[in-house]
Amino acid sequence: MQARSPAAHVLAAAMLLTTGVSCDSVGRASGGTSTESAPAPSGPRAVTALGRLQPKDGIIRVAGPSRPTVVIAKLLVDTGDVVEAGQPLAVLDTQAENEARVARIKAELVNAETELGRVNELFRQGIAAVSLRESGQLKVDVARAEMRAAQSTLDLDTVRAPIAGQVIAVHARRGERVGMDGIAELADTAHMYAVAEVYETDIGRVKIGQRARVRSPAVDGVLTGVVERIGMKIGKLDVLDTDPAARTDARVVPVDIRLDDSTRGAGLSNLQVEVAIQPDS
């Protein structure tokens, strides 16, 4: 038998190695070793929406009495002050004039009551006529009605807080005429909410009591809360997305989310936020 050359031995070894690798590859592909697939997401997909932070029941503009002209004589609060319901916020420049009117009518009322007392005494003695007594009683009744009206007008010269809350803006100060913005803005910042504008196609997945996460670059970390109220009217999108391709004519439903920690958002009314509501599993 003729001996093989070294080159023949090398060629045979290479062919065997190639055959082994090919068989191993086929074995792996056919099920010898399976690759891991990405885990399926657990739970239902969150309902996402843009929204804004706002105090409970929104921001209240205090305008004062409904008169043609209202001018501030004294401003008793400033931005950031915490006030109680009924606390004086400002005094109008008509206070002195209305105080004088009350004093004058009060004097007229006292005089009318004194005169009526004298007439009643004469009537009991049979000296005064019934018509004189009725005339005196009428004067007293008219004076009392004018007194109530004058006192009511005087009371309106002191503008009071309609709710307990915080002064978040002042629009008119001493000597200034009150304009369309009113005197000041009040808000219950102790109870902050995120108002999410949920697309009408997603609102069916939102229920009262569901948990929500609220994010914004202006707030460190994540704000959490619970869905407290779902709007009953569909409207247009109010909070605009910065994405130029976003729909600006979308139909949405407002969803009020009560924040767990109101202190972190108390000074950020109207801040735009991103909301993720976790539906029930």
The alpha-helical segments, DSSP class H, found in 130-219 are: 130-155
pLDDT at position 248, please? 54
Residue 138 has pLDDT above 90, yes or no: yes
AA identity, residue 94: T
pLDDT recorded at residue 7: 43
Q: Is the pLDDT of residue 10 over 50?
A: no
HSE of 194 in the Cβ direction (CA atoms, 13 Å)?
31
Does 127 have pLDDT greater than 90?
A: no
Q: Torsion-angle region of residue 208: left (phi > 0), alpha (psi -120 to 50) or beta?
A: beta
Portion of the chain with pLDDT greater than 70, in percent = 80
Q: How confident is the model at residue 126 (pLDDT cuts 50, 70, 90)?
A: confident
Query: What is the mean predicted confidence (pLDDT) over 4-13?
Result: 43
* 147 contacts 104 by C-beta, under 8 angstroms: no
Confidence band, pLDDT 50/70/90 cuts, at residue 239:
low
Contact 72, 93 (CB under 8 A): yes
| Tens-digit pLDDT profile for residues 142-154 | 999 999 999 999 9
What is the pTM assigned to this prediction? 0.71
- Say how far apart CA 227 and CA 278 lie, in whole Å: 10
Q: How many Å apart are CA 63 and CA 66, to the nearest integer?
A: 8
pLDDT tens, position by position, 65-75: 988 889 999 99
Widest CA span in the chain: 170
Q: Report the alpha-carbon distance of residue 130 to residue 154 in Å, rounded.
A: 36
The domain limits of the chain are 47-55+191-277, 59-167
Helix (H) or strand (E) holding 212: strand 211-215
With residue 204 as reference, give the H or E element that holds it. Answer: none
**Distance, CA of 147 to CA of 106 (rounded, Å):** 7
End-to-end Cα distance, the chain = 80
> CA–CA separation, 266 vs 45, rounded Å?
30
Domain 47-55+191-277 of CATH type 2.40.30.170: yes
C-alpha span between 264 and 151 (Å, rounded): 44
* Per-residue pLDDT reduced to its tens digit, 146-195: 999 999 999 999 999 999 999 999 999 999 999 999 999 999 999 999 99
